[in-house]
């Protein structure tokens, strides 16, 4: 079958694109492999809030089968008067506790001047949705050797996402993981509209692994399970999920984080999809 | 888990909504049941073009496991100079040939003044995306006893879709099937953006079956299979798929219709999802 | 200066388009001319509610300089349980009272089966935003000799608007007035986003007059005056404005209708733009 | 008249908001005042390309009545393989030549690590649309004493724009000018959709001056004049316009930059609006 819509017609072949000579990429980070056909689960709180909070969450998700711990130390917030994150203190906690449970870590690097700092504390950089076209940041990350998860801008096209990835790759770092996290539309019953078609299109066009952030895309706990199943059925290499020991008391995004019970239920519900993939 | 975004707060409880006393609806139409947990496949050409074309397609899809034949006799076209459909002649062909292969039929009713005519020829009315808020048409259909598949407007919210369904139900006809078919966004690599979250939200909120039109939503043959799998994994009660004996020569939507080989491949690829559902 | 974006490339030259041989159209309807460079004001309530209401409003707006009375008898409403309009009774009132004040009338025709009825009562048909691609209705209107104001669908591109106009023109009726009324976007502080660029683009591309509906586009009384001024400065041939004798008690769209005082203030504020145009 | 849609309900009164005690701000920068009721014209090329180019353009626009010279030295480009700007060399040229013609300067600061550098060369910082929610950059600028023009993100609501301004103000710098530059929608005949309603809403809600970028918003030279007139009629405190001595040979955005003749024509066409404002 062939694509019918505007294909990517770059001025030169993109490094991030798939062709006969560049097979799909998979990355081994400590004990975890992303992009080998067996989906990975990235879980954790929206924000790093305290040692106790991170320890509880890290222990719980590692027992439930998640391999990668997420959590934000620098929180980009719409209002300057909202909680801005624990910053370096948060990074230290995060890194120590993840090691305790043998979890790979991912956290957001908010700015070029934080690249060196965050580099020391995390296994994977995250570039947030609002920074997808922060080209100075992309280039700075491109000059490191660290894996990076690049979130799609919530108002960016797939072409723009691939060109943002190319900004990183063109500086020498091709350890890039793409992340669909929903786009801004007129629909009001979800926080964003998850663009499920992005998964197979990105998989077909680029050679990079593709993760779906099921929390920011919909902003709704009540449909987390069917959306997780749909994402895996569409071919995603993994899911990113917000989990909190006490969602209602969370300092950010309290409405979309799953409780421990909800996360267990979700992990059970997607088990057939994880197994199936392993057998393929 | 609970919904976190704007719930539907109608002035009165909606007939189409789910509550403890009104369980999910399922409809038996001839030999086919929609909404009983076993997904149905609706397939056929965009437009009815000739007896020969319909016969070939009907025979093929019925052997492949589709139960319902789609095809348009009145084509709403953006330009007045595009093919407008075979109209009543098309309806006659359509109805006769479907019967030959024991297929249930669905076709679009474009206007109030065609309700009586189309009523005689089809098992299920289709209300097209551009007509979702054609309230006079909705009311006219609400006064019949025929099943109707109501397509979401490509720029309509889920709340507006449910209220459009309520326009039909409020006149006495509750035999309504909802259809997600993609919404208009800024993304250019798909014809529309399939709103996969619509499936679980509509299933949770209303008591009506939900179908996903995988052809109009993405407009791309090359991702038909992963999108079909994702739709079923999200809980859809069925899929609507455009199939043509010779897509490149089709009189409308030639770029998104599947060939017979592509349709066979797709039916094989979703087989595990159809089986799984039957076992639940 | 030349257009840089996607020009309209129809299969054949459109009747509604401007070219060297078809100058801009202007229409004389009773004493009022639309499209001659002197902007017209169309004012009135969202819905026709009673003889008393229409009489008060018609008298007031005619004294303030409006030449055309608007008012809906068939109201397309998102919910079936909202006020649906006075229907034929409303048309009778509307027509009689407008005559009393020598006002030209415009009212919505909601469906093909109401074309003959509404024809008898109004000087100008209105096709509502939700009906812009109701092609059966467009064709039915195209077979009459009555002027028609075609509202842009809130989900429609300018190309689709011109092709909708062409559906009418292709049946023989070229007495078409285009209306920009805002499009649906992610912005939440206005009801819709007024696409001001539509005015000069439509004026340059087509030969039809262009009106701006300042009420539905923004949904905000507090910016009615600057938006009215901007629309005239952009080259609009007129404005459509909702006015009500008691906005807070209106049966529909109460939040966006102007009171008499607000309408007077607005008419004063745009006076320089009306004069200026007359002198050109 | 009162606002009817979602008002801004911040956790605390915003510094950037208007109230009885904080009148509208106006800023005097060298000989130019922004926000005093007399609109200013900001003009210049998309990118600084050479001394010769900048000299020609600066001389021309200063004679035509523009007071502020724009030009980019660091160009954020969707593709890493497009022209990226002359960087520091460009800033030096820009600053020297502007002084020659007594023009105030504005140029984009692309990243926190460029704030100190750009500070030395420009009178006004520009924060680009893609950086509107680059909160680290906003805070860094907030710690300087330099004026800043903050462009609305093409994906951002007006509420988000005001909160981005608040990020700057909360660090002590209230010398902020807002800029509407179009938002991303489904319409394809313009590069973006200019949200003209943003002008009066921002003027009513905040106490900051509001500029309209007529080049990026529409991306079309052919409607520059009516859009400029509409923006001023809506109450804008100024216009930003791309002008190039040879648009077709420009290294970026060649399709939307005005030639000298086109710019002269535009300045003549808006003359009545500039005068009118001065008299008020």
Over 60: is that where the pLDDT of B8 sits?
Answer: no
Intra-chain end-to-end CA distance of chain C, in Å: 21
Of C11 and D228, the one with more pLDDT? D228
pLDDT at A279: 56
pLDDT at D6: 47
Which chain D residues are within 8 Å of C272, Cβ to Cβ? 276
Whether D186 contacts chain B with CB within 8 A: yes
- Determine the residue among B185, B186, B187, B193 to mutate to test chain D binding: the one whose Cβ has the most chain D Cβ atoms within 10 Å: B186
Say what the pTM is.
Answer: 0.94
Whether C20 contacts chain B with CB within 8 A: no
- Mean pLDDT of the residues in chain B: 92
CA of C4, closest CA in chain D: separation in Å?
Answer: 6
Which chain A residues are within 8 Å of D137, Cβ to Cβ? 111
| Residues listed for chain B | 280
pLDDT at A93: 95
Residue of chain B minimizing CA distance to A256: B4
- SS3 at position D194: coil
Q: Do C244 and C252 touch, CB atoms closer than 8 A?
A: no
Contact: A230, B234; criterion CB under 8 Å: yes
Contact: D112, A110; criterion CB under 8 Å: no
Range name among D10-14, D88-92, D186-190 with the lowest pLDDT average: D10-14
Contact: B220, A229; criterion CB under 8 Å: no
Contact: C227, D197; criterion CB under 8 Å: yes
Whether A187 contacts chain C with CB within 8 A: no
Could you list the pLDDT tens digit for every one of the 280 residues in chain A?
A: 333 344 445 456 899 998 877 789 999 999 999 999 999 999 999 999 999 999 999 999 999 999 999 999 998 888 999 888 999 999 999 999 999 999 999 999 999 999 999 999 999 999 999 999 999 999 999 999 999 999 999 999 999 999 999 999 999 999 999 999 999 999 999 999 999 999 999 999 999 999 999 999 999 999 999 999 999 999 999 999 999 999 988 888 878 899 999 999 999 999 999 876 655 4
At D196, is the pLDDT very low, low, confident or very high (cuts 50, 70, 90)?
Answer: very high
CA of B155, closest CA in chain C: separation in Å?
Answer: 6
- SS3 at position D169: helix
Whether B254 contacts chain A with CB within 8 A: no
pLDDT tens readout for residues C209-221: 999 999 999 999 9
Instruction: Say if strands C124-127 and C147-151 run parallel, antiparallel, or are unpaired.
Output: parallel
CA of D74, closest CA in chain A: separation in Å?
Answer: 10
Which chain A residues are within 8 Å of C185, Cβ to Cβ? 186
Contact: C230, D196; criterion CB under 8 Å: yes
Whether A185 contacts chain B with CB within 8 A: yes
Q: Do A212 and A180 touch, CB atoms closer than 8 A?
A: yes
pLDDT at B52: 96
Counting as contact any 3 or more CB pairs under 8 A, the partners of A are B, C, D
Instruction: Say if strands B176-180 and C176-180 run parallel, antiparallel, or are unpaired.
Output: unpaired
Whether A113 contacts chain D with CB within 8 A: yes
pLDDT tens readout for residues B172-181: 999 999 999 9
Radius of gyration of chain C measured on its C-alpha atoms:
18
pLDDT tens readout for residues B48-70: 999 999 999 999 999 999 999 99
Angle between helices C224-233 and C260-279 (to 10 degrees): 20
User: Helices then strands (H, E): number in chain D?
Assistant: 9, 10
pLDDT tens readout for residues B215-253: 999 999 999 999 999 999 999 999 999 999 999 888 888
Q: Do D240 and C247 touch, CB atoms closer than 8 A?
A: no
Neighbours of A143 (CB within 10 A): 11
Contacts of D61 (CB under 8 A, 6+ apart): D41, D43, D44, D69, D103, D243, D263
Which chain A residues are within 8 Å of B5, Cβ to Cβ? 188-191, 219-220
pLDDT at C8: 47
Interatomic CA distance for residues D205 and C222, integer angstroms: 11
Which chain D residues are within 8 Å of A79, Cβ to Cβ? 10-11, 163, 166
One-letter-per-residue 3-state SS of A129-177: HHHCCCHHHHHHHHCCCCEEEEECCCCCCHHHHHHHHHHHHCCCCCCEE
pLDDT at B255: 80
Which chain B residues are within 8 Å of A39, Cβ to Cβ? none
Dihedral angle of Cα D166, D168, D170, D172, to the nearest 10 degrees: -140
Interatomic CA distance for residues C45 and C42, integer angstroms: 10
Q: Do B60 and B245 touch, CB atoms closer than 8 A?
A: yes
Cβ burial of A25 (10 Å; 0-12, 13-18, 19+) is: middle
Of B88 and D10, the one with more pLDDT? B88
* Paired tokens of A274: 């994880």
pLDDT tens readout for residues A40-84: 999 999 999 999 999 999 999 999 999 999 999 998 888 999 888
Contact: C194, D191; criterion CB under 8 Å: no
Which chain D residues are within 8 Å of A110, Cβ to Cβ? 135-136
Residue of chain D minimizing CA distance to A74: D136
In this prediction, does ipTM exceed 0.90?
Answer: yes
Whether D187 contacts chain B with CB within 8 A: no
Contact: B200, A186; criterion CB under 8 Å: no
Which 123-142 residues of chain A touch chain D by CB within 8 A? 130-131, 133-137
Whether B185 contacts chain D with CB within 8 A: yes
Counting as contact any 3 or more CB pairs under 8 A, the partners of B are A, C, D
Interatomic CA distance for residues A97 and A102, integer angstroms: 9
Q: Do D198 and D168 touch, CB atoms closer than 8 A?
A: no
pLDDT tens readout for residues D18-57: 887 778 999 999 999 999 999 999 999 999 999 999 999 9
Residue of chain D minimizing CA distance to C2: D222
Which stretches of chain D are DSSP H helices? 51-64, 87-100, 115-119, 135-142, 158-169, 198-205, 214-218, 224-233, 260-279
Whether C187 contacts chain A with CB within 8 A: no
CA of B205, closest CA in chain C: separation in Å?
Answer: 16
Which chain D residues are within 8 Å of C5, Cβ to Cβ? 188-191, 219-220
Contacts of C178 (CB under 8 A, 6+ apart): C149, C150, C152, C161, C165, C202, C206, C208, C209, C210, C211
Whether B278 contacts chain D with CB within 8 A: no
Over 90: is that where the pLDDT of C135 sits?
Answer: yes
* Paired tokens of A270: 């997607």
CA of B204, closest CA in chain A: separation in Å?
Answer: 9
- Determine the residue among A154, A161, A197, A225 to mutate to test chain B binding: the one whose Cβ has the most chain B Cβ atoms within 10 Å: A197
- ∠A45-A49-A54 over CA atoms, to 5°? 60
- SS3 at position B239: strand
Whether D183 contacts chain C with CB within 8 A: yes
């Amino acid at each position: 079958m062939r694509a019918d819509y505007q294909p990517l017609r770059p001025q030169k072949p993109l490094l991030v694109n798939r062709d006969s000579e560049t097979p799909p990429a998979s990355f081994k980070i400590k004990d975890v492999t992303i992009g080998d056909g067996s989906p990975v689960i990235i879980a954790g709180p929206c924000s790093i809030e305290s040692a106790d909070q991170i320890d509880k969450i890290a222990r719980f998700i590692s027992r439930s089968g998640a391999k990668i711990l997420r959590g934000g130390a620098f929180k980009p917030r719409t209002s300057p008067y909202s909680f801005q994150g624990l910053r370096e203190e948060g990074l230290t906690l995060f890194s120590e506790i993840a090691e305790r449970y043998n979890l790979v870590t991912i956290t957001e690097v908010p700015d070029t001047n934080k690249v060196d700092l965050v580099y020391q504390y995390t296994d994977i950089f995250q570039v947030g949705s609002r920074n997808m076209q922060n080209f100075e940041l992309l280039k700075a990350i491109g000059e490191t050797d660290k894996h990076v998860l690049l979130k799609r801008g919530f108002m960016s096209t797939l072409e723009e996402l691939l060109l943002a990835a190319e900004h990183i790759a063109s500086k020498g770092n091709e350890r890039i993981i793409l992340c669909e996290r929903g786009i801004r539309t007129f629909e009001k019953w979800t926080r964003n509209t998850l663009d499920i078609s992005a998964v197979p299109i990105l998989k077909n066009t680029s050679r990079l692994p593709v993760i779906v952030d099921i929390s920011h895309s919909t902003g709704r706990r009540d449909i987390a399970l069917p959306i997780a199943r749909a994402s895996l059925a569409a071919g995603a290499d993994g899911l990113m999920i917000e989990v909190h020991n006490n969602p209602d008391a969370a300092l950010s995004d309290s409405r979309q984080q799953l409780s421990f019970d909800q996360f267990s239920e979700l992990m059970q519900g997607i088990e057939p999809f994880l197994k199936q993939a392993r057998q393929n």
